[in-house]
Amino acid sequence: MKRIIAGILTAAVMTFSACSSASITGKPDIDRTFSAKASVAAGGEVISGQLCRTGDNCWTFTLNEPYALEGLTVSFCDGKTTFSMLGFECETDFSDSAVSALKLFAEAYESAVDNKDRFENGVLEGSNENGAFTVILDDDGSPAVINAGGFSLKLSELSEAMDTEEQSDELILLE
């Protein structure tokens, strides 16, 4: 009899503690700064590096793969994209037909921030001036995938990014 009761209790505990797909309810808090490992597959290559959202409409992507692009920093801030490497810098997005991938991803994410009440189960599909986009959040409400312009940006190891004032204060404290 004790074994039967123990078996029933074990089955009940397993049933109530079974894993289910987590769904994000309510408005996710995605309007924050962050840093994450990022990768994009484009033209048969995988481009990867460190992506940072340092503020509203301000992003940087420092590449570490492929080797030929290691150290290239792509920045998007207030509608302008710049590339910098080895002390040289150039600006892009000077025509409507040339749009950087970082601009596509950043503007898609910023559109998602502006429409965060439209997220359903951690997914927001929408469109902006660059076309259709999708932002997918992971189980804890952090961005996991941004699809825009036919490209897919995958994010992992997300952490909160400090703003530049906090970084400079920390450097002073360490000296």
Tens digit of each residue's pLDDT (9 = 90 or more) over 3-59: 333 333 333 333 333 333 345 555 778 899 999 999 998 878 899 999 999 999 999
Q: Among 1-10, 86-95, 160-169, whose mean pLDDT is lowest? A: 1-10
Strands (E), 92-150: 123-128, 131-137, 143-148
User: pLDDT value at position 93?
Assistant: 66
Cα separation, 13 vs 3, whole angstroms: 15
Q: What is the pTM of this model?
A: 0.75
More confident residue, 95 or 104: 104
Q: How far apart are CA 108 and CA 124, in angstroms?
A: 10
Taken in order 100, 101, 104, 106, the sign of the CA dihedral is negative
- Statement: residue 133 has pLDDT above 90: yes
Check pLDDT > 70 for residue 172.
no
Q: Which of 24, 27, 29 is nearest to 117 (CA)?
A: 27
pLDDT interval class at 170 (50, 70, 90):
very low
DSSP code string of 35-47? EEEEEEEETTEEE
Angle made by CA atoms 157, 139, 44, in degrees to the nearest 5 = 55
Which has more confidence, 133 or 78? 133
Average predicted confidence (pLDDT) for the chain: 79
8-state DSSP, 57 = T
pLDDT of residue 122: 92
In the predicted structure, residue 97 carries a pLDDT above the cut 60: yes
Residue 115 phi/psi, 5-degree rounding, is -120, 35
Residue 149 has pLDDT above 50, yes or no: yes
Mean pLDDT of 118-131: 91
